[in-house]
Amino acid sequence: MMPIAEIIAEALHAKRTGPGRWMARCPAHDDRTPSLSITERNGSVLVHCFAGCRQSEVIEALRARGLWPERKTEWLPREQYRQERKRRDSYREAERWKNALLLVLEHARRDAWHEFLDCDAAGKKDERAEALTRLFELASEHRRIRNLNGAELLMAYAESLERDPKGVAAVLNYALDDDQNARDVTAAIVAMLALAQQAQSERRVA
Ligand SMILES: [Zn+2]
């Protein structure tokens, strides 16, 4: 079977510039001079328009001409493949941090519970109500995070970051007073926020 790069090159009347390399008129814009480079490497096809079309636009134009296979996984362009793999790694890492976050929330919940008992014993009504509210919030956050997988957790944090960047840090910073877990917790917060920010910026690009 003819390699896909050759099929594309032939259909676009491309000029061969080297082994596995062609230049063609870009199908994604009104191209007068050949701006599209087509490269075949290790069985995958790379397309790049020097006039500035996005790769997704070029692929869409090729697909419209029946020159790009429908099944994504079969002919995933290298850059797309790299992005996919990076995203999967992020999700896996997020799964690892999930337990650390749950631990933070458990500590915070325990502290809020003690605070509630103290205020209750001392008859401090307002503080008691605040501690109770906090207790409920922490319990619901714990439940929410426990039920998310890594990908969902990242998205949830990316959304929270967008809405209230300081709030996310504040919730997670809560257990930093706890000497025993301070270092783990700090690492978890930093990693989580970095991953969430990354997921957020990727989403913005997409
Ligand atoms: Zn173009």
- Choose the final residue of a domain: 45, 76, 107: 76
- Choose the final residue of a domain: 76, 94, 119: 76
In this structure, the answer to whether residues 58 and 131 fall within a common structural domain is no
Residues 6+ apart with CB under 8 A from 185: 100, 103, 104, 172, 175, 176, 178
In this structure, the answer to whether residues 61 and 90 fall within a common structural domain is no
Q: Over its length of 206 residues, how does the chain's per-residue pLDDT go in tens digits?
A: 567 888 899 889 999 999 889 999 999 999 999 999 999 887 788 999 999 999 989 998 998 888 887 655 445 566 666 766 766 666 666 776 677 778 777 877 888 899 999 999 999 999 999 989 888 888 888 888 788 776 677 667 666 666 766 665 555 555 445 545 555 555 665 666 676 667 667 666 65
32 CA from centroid of ligand 1 (Å): 10
53 CA from centroid of ligand 1 (Å): 4
67 CA from centroid of ligand 1 (Å): 16
Residues 6+ apart with CB under 8 A from 155: 199, 203
In this structure, the answer to whether residues 56 and 12 fall within a common structural domain is yes
Among 52, 97, 118, 129, CA closest to 196: 97
29 CA from centroid of ligand 1 (Å): 5
In this structure, the answer to whether residues 109 and 192 fall within a common structural domain is yes
Distance CA 135, CA 128 (A): 10
Domain count, the chain: 2
In this structure, the answer to whether residues 67 and 98 fall within a common structural domain is no
86 CA from centroid of ligand 1 (Å): 27
Residues 6+ apart with CB under 8 A from 56: none
Bridge partners of 180? none
What is the domain extent for residue 191? Answer: 81-205
In this structure, the answer to whether residues 59 and 90 fall within a common structural domain is no
